[in-house]
Chain A
Amino acid sequence: MTILGALVALLAVWFAGACLLGLVGARDTRSPAGLVADFAAGGALLGFVGTVSVAAGIGVSWLTLYGPLALLATGAVLRRCRPLLRIRLPGDRPARALLLLAVAGLIVLGIGALGDLLWWDGWAIWAFKAKVLFVTGTLPPSFFDPSGPYVATNLHYPLAVPLLSWWTYLHAGASDPALVSLVGAVWFALLVLLVWGSLSDSGAPRLAAGAALGVTAFWPISSYALGGTADVVIAIVLLGSIVEMGRARTDGGAGPAVRLAAYLSLGVLAKSEGLAIAAIVAATGLPMLWLSGGGKSLRMLGAAIVPLLVYLPWHLFTIGQELTSAAVGTRSAQPWQERANVLRIVTEQLISEPIWMPVCLLGLGGLALAARRRDAAVLTGWAVLVAYVGAVIAVYLRTDADIVWLVATSYARVMAVVVPAAVVLSLAAVAKERSGSETLPTLHAEPAARG
Chain B
Amino acid sequence: MRAQDGIDPAPDAAGGIPSREASGSVAVVAAALLGAWCVAGAASSASSFLDAAQSVRNARSEGVAVVGIPLLGAPYVAVLRHVLASVERTGDAPWLVMIPNTTPLVVAEYIRAQLAYADYPLRVDVAPLERVRHDASYEGIVVVPGVKYPWAGEVVQVIEGYRVYRGPQP
Which one of B62-70, B74-82, B137-145 is at the A interface? B62-70
In chain A between 132 and 164, which residues have their CB closer than 8 angstroms to a CB of chain B?
132, 135-136, 149-150, 152
Closest to A108 in B: B49
Asked if B45 and A123 make an inter-chain contact with CB atoms under 8 angstroms apart, the answer reads no
Say whether A411 faces chain B, with CB atoms less than 8 Å apart. no
> With the chains together, A99 CA to B52 CA distance in Å?
25
Asked if A362 and B113 make an inter-chain contact with CB atoms under 8 angstroms apart, the answer reads no
Asked if B31 and A207 make an inter-chain contact with CB atoms under 8 angstroms apart, the answer reads yes
| B123 partner, pick from A149, A354, A366, A434, beta carbons under 8 A | A149
Asked if A116 and B12 make an inter-chain contact with CB atoms under 8 angstroms apart, the answer reads no
**0/1 interface trace, chain A 198-225, chain B, CB 8 Å (1 if under):** 0000011111001101100111001100
User: Closest CB of chain A to B24's CB: distance in Å?
Assistant: 7
User: Closest CB of chain B to A386's CB: distance in Å?
Assistant: 20
| B109 partner, pick from A152, A204, A362, beta carbons under 8 A | A152
Q: Which residues on A sit within 8 Å (CB–CB) of B109? A: 152
**0/1 interface trace, chain A 117-139, chain B, CB 8 Å (1 if under):** 11110111001100110011000
Number of contact residues on A: which range applies? 35 or more
| B4 partner, pick from A92, A109, A177, A178, beta carbons under 8 A | A92
Say whether B29 faces chain A, with CB atoms less than 8 Å apart. yes
Asked if A445 and B31 make an inter-chain contact with CB atoms under 8 angstroms apart, the answer reads no
Asked if B120 and A435 make an inter-chain contact with CB atoms under 8 angstroms apart, the answer reads no
Number of contact residues on B: which range applies? 35 or more
Asked if B113 and A219 make an inter-chain contact with CB atoms under 8 angstroms apart, the answer reads no
Given A149-B123, A177-B68, also A359-B9 (CB < 8 A): no
Say whether A402 faces chain B, with CB atoms less than 8 Å apart. no
Given A150-B116, A436-B7, also A219-B34 (CB < 8 A): no
Given A115-B68, A355-B40, also A128-B113 (CB < 8 A): yes
**0/1 interface trace, chain B 11-30, chain A, CB 8 Å (1 if under):** 11111001000011011011
Closest to B2 in A: A434
Asked if A119 and B27 make an inter-chain contact with CB atoms under 8 angstroms apart, the answer reads no
Q: Which residues on B sit within 8 Å (CB–CB) of A223? A: 45, 48-49, 52
User: Closest CB of chain B to A249's CB: distance in Å?
Assistant: 13
Given A112-B49, A358-B34, A430-B30, also A219-B41 (CB < 8 A): yes
Say whether B10 faces chain A, with CB atoms less than 8 Å apart. yes
Say whether B147 faces chain A, with CB atoms less than 8 Å apart. no
Closest to A445 in B: B13
Number of A-B contacts (CB under 8 A): 177
Say whether A451 faces chain B, with CB atoms less than 8 Å apart. yes
| A358 partner, pick from B2, B27, B33, beta carbons under 8 A | B33
> With the chains together, A128 CA to B115 CA distance in Å?
11
| B33 partner, pick from A136, A213, A354, A362, beta carbons under 8 A | A362
Say whether B44 faces chain A, with CB atoms less than 8 Å apart. yes
Say whether B159 faces chain A, with CB atoms less than 8 Å apart. no
Most buried by A among B27, B33, B36, B65: B33
> With the chains together, A105 CA to B69 CA distance in Å?
21
Closest to B12 in A: A373
| A210 partner, pick from B24, B31, B66, beta carbons under 8 A | B31
| B5 partner, pick from A92, A135, A152, beta carbons under 8 A | A92
**0/1 interface trace, chain A 344-386, chain B, CB 8 Å (1 if under):** 0000000001110111011001100100011100000000000
Asked if B69 and A204 make an inter-chain contact with CB atoms under 8 angstroms apart, the answer reads no
Asked if A354 and B69 make an inter-chain contact with CB atoms under 8 angstroms apart, the answer reads no
User: Closest CB of chain B to A413's CB: distance in Å?
Assistant: 14
Q: Can you list 13 contacts pairing A with B, beta carbon distance less than 8 Å?
A: A123-B117, A149-B112, A149-B116, A178-B68, A210-B35, A211-B34, A373-B12, A430-B26, A433-B27, A435-B7, A436-B9, A437-B10, A437-B11
- Told that A128-B117, A373-B14 touch, could you supply 6 new A-B pairs with CB distance under 8 A? A123-B66, A150-B116, A205-B5, A359-B37, A433-B27, A434-B24
